[in-house]
Structure 1
């Protein structure tokens, strides 16, 4: 979805806000490099400039409870005096047109993806002198879908995209820039990628793992995420065994695999042109044209629907387990609540983004093994077997790469930014 002009007259302070518009679009270009399930990029960010939309967001943000820190790294609600024309606002949304929906667990995955995007977006803005002052999350009401995000979206006016569900509103203010470089953050975000190849077998030093688990900043601060590194041989063997038994579940699940395959692009050129999904080379590494064509045919939903009857999905699961087994570290992240709300899940995604950037800076790569989380019975078996409390939201291979892997395509950052 592209940025859209609004017919509502701009406030008198529009000239003063031009630097923020530039900063937001620069931040969106970096945040577009955030990780997301199937590289679906289900996020959207709106900037209210129309008088009615801006007032609606101001009211929403000011509803946040006072007496404690509203936004980690920012100011508390009690210190939130009016900034007049110097305040700026952004709204993070879930774009339902881009979200995965074939499995119930995808609802959590989509919020995690949006949280990762928000963490990098706000960090990029902070490095340009726009500090987060307060965040107000939009929680759905208990017992039904009515109200909540739907009502908030309605209050933002006719220019609010109908496919977007607001997740939180953020107030930002001009401050001194913190330590750090926007160019450095961009380089790290560009270098971060999923690497599905075998990793070096040597152990990752405990001090490095401790650094990855250090206290978080930004939206991720206070996220309440438990980070567990599985390094013992027995733990990694147990995890590989679980993958061998259940790693083919998506291939044999008709609806889930049909949705997954819809993100597989014919080649790198098509992936770059569309700006999402992945080419087969992002799954299997460099491929000849003949092997690429054969894989596309073998993985097509109609083919998989036939081959699952002869156990082809179990063959694929065992192949994945053979890659997982020698990995030096398996990292699992979880939330304390088995049924987390919007705020907890989005903050958990922010924690994931920070972890992945730290891992990239340390020369490490990750390969999420999401299939063990996308089916509740498998996830519960994983948590019971390894003693993982609450709700595990991320599990991945972690190690040093033996070979590089191509970067997944991304939409232009502006395409996720909308003016209301």
Structure 2
């Protein structure tokens, strides 16, 4: 039985909130290591502690959609597997919806519009995928500290995304700024609300996922030529837990020589599109930092060494000049973007495996895309644990005509949202800088 939207919420005392606050900040510190396009880190997490905000989130999480069916629920139990029966009826869910407790806690995942990429339509999917990867690691880290996800209610925007208006799948539109209180950040758009409940025996330690998240990184260097064993690839594609458990995602590995050669040829033909697209490249270049020191100070973006490996000071300055948007706008007439595409293709060609991940729906909504991002995070963590590294080749997905041609050539259904090199590294690669995890957390 769910609580009434008009009931007065029971606020946990400050003493009771302290353990969750500690767990949330530690989880956010780990989740900050999640992958994101251009390392823009477009996520935010709101923790409702005020009476009005908590009442609003309780109501939104508990409400039933107009069609009489429960919205796709989150996850329950220490394992983080999908909870409940397939029909989603309250009567079959045991004590899953036994009503809100003063020991329950809530978090709201948001897209920070001030940090999102906007130069291409495809970036809308990339931002949600990034937020989904963050949510998967955040909730998994909380579960390892004894806070199990009980229910998730996803948000589908009503078209005025920058104003924070959202439909919590109940047929009623809410203004996030009003419903969640004056402390709701005006640049944030809510993506989902999560209810968490205390569990007695966490299955593991957050130190485990922290180690894997720290080891996970994009490695753009050449990989060892040895094939990745089929059993390892099967393990990477195995069913996922947590938010990713509900992801309708196809995972395909290109390992045959002909398939990999065809993909490398495709990159050679189309991999320069971003460099020649003035608006897209200007946005990409805005995330290129002068050096490692600036990247660490800002906590996002990437230094040129992330793209080209260790660089001498003169070469770094020369590359910054050559890649500057003004320079590229001139050099593209001389075909410089095609030179860069062929250089990328030469790195791609000997890679032992290419992984492509796609959503079933060609026009996925918020829930499907966030779950897809969660599936990507799970895949990448598993690959890291297996001693593998990835290097996303995002340029073939960021322009719709190129992506559709790639999907047709490879026979990929739905909406492909991730393509990457996959293999064992020949050399280590520096980790991208990150913002302090607590900066993404707000109390409301």
1:412 is the counterpart of 2:415: no
Equivalent in the alignment of 1:151: 174
Q: Deviation of residue 148 (structure 1)? A: 1.9
Do the aligned partners of 1:152 and 1:166 also contact (CA within 8 Å) in 2? no
Does 1 or 2 have the higher relative contact order (CA < 8 Å, sep 6+)? 1
- Measure, in 2, the Cα distance between the counterparts of 1:151 and 1:318: 49
2-structure distance, mates of 1:112, 1:137: 14
Residues 126 and 177 of structure 1 are in contact (CA less than 8 Å); yes or no, is this contact kept in structure 2? no
CA–CA distance in 1 between the matches of 2:403 and 2:284? 19
Structure-1 residue corresponding to 2:75:
72
Secondary structure at the residue paired with 1:330?
strand
What's the offset of the Cα at 1:83? 3.9
Gaps of at least 5 residues in structure 1 are 1-9
Aligned residue number for residue 242 of structure 2 = 218
Q: Distance in 1 between matches of 2:63 and 2:352?
A: 47
Q: Give the Å deviation of 1:234.
A: 1.3
Question: 1:390 aligned to 2:414?
Answer: yes
In 2, the alpha carbon distance for the partners of 1:64 and 1:414 equals: 32
| Cα distance in 2 between the residues matched to 1:68 and 1:376 | 30
* Paired position in structure 2 for 1:321: 345
Partner residue, 1:24: 24
2:223 aligned with 1:199: yes
1:5 corresponds in structure 2 to none
Residues 343-386 of structure 1 show CA distances to partners (whole Å, capped at 9, x for unaligned) of 00000000000000000000000000000000000000000000
Does the 8 Å contact 2:34/2:133 carry over to 1?
yes
SS at match of 2:223: coil
Distance 1:390 1:69 in 2: 20
Deviations 1:71-121 (A, max 9, x none): 134544543112421100000000000000000000000000000000000
Q: How much does 1:11 deviate?
A: 3.8
For 1:228 and 1:314, locate their aligned partners in 2 and report how far apart those are by CA, in whole Å.
Answer: 27
The answer as to whether partners of 1:220 and 1:354 remain within 8 angstroms in 2 is yes
Q: What is the match of residue 43 of structure 1? A: 43
Aligned mates of 2:234, 2:175 — CA distance in 1:
40
Q: Which residue of 2 aligns with 1:252?
A: 276
2:307 paired residue among 275, 279, 283: 283
1:128 equivalent in alignment to 2:145:
yes
How far has the Cα of 1:68 moved from its partner?
Answer: 8.2
Cα distance change on mapping 1:305 and 1:395 into 2, 3 Å: same
Tell me what 2:395 maps to. Answer: 371
- Separation in 2 of the partners of 1:268 and 1:284? 13
CA distance in 2: counterparts of 1:140 and 1:413, whole angstroms: 26
2:58/2:100 contact within 8 Å kept: no
Q: Work out the number of aligned pairs and report it.
A: 410
Return the alpha-carbon distance in structure 1 between the equivalents of residues 154 and 54 of structure 2.
17
* Alpha-carbon distance change, 28 to 324 in structure 1, aligned in 2, over 3 angstroms: same
Q: 1:284 to 1:221 in 2, by over 3 A?
A: same
SS at match of 2:395: helix
- 61-70 vs 170-179, which moves further: 61-70
Residues 12 and 103 in structure 2, CA contact (< 8 A), matched pair in contact too: no
1:85 matched to 2:102? The reply is: yes
Aligned partner of 1:234 among 245, 250, 258: 258
1:137/1:12 CA distance change after superposition, 3 Å: closer
Q: Please list, as runs of the form range in 1=range in 2, the aligned pairs for 1:286-301 lying within 5 A after superposition.
A: 286-301=310-325
CA deviations over 1:204-226 (Å, ceiling 9, x no partner)? 00000000001100000020110
TM-score, normalised to structure 1, is 0.95
**Equivalent-residue separation in structure 1 for 2:328 and 2:72 (angstroms):** 51
Distance 2:352 2:26 in 1: 37
Query: Residue by residue, what CA displacement relative to the aligned partner does 1:139-174 show, whole Å, maximum 9, x if unpaired?
Result: 124x77684268341211110000000000000000
Does the CA-based 8 Å contact 1:220-1:350 persist in structure 2?
A: yes
The root-mean-square deviation of aligned C-alpha atoms, in Å, is: 1.6
Among 106, 110, 115, the residue aligned to 2:132: 115
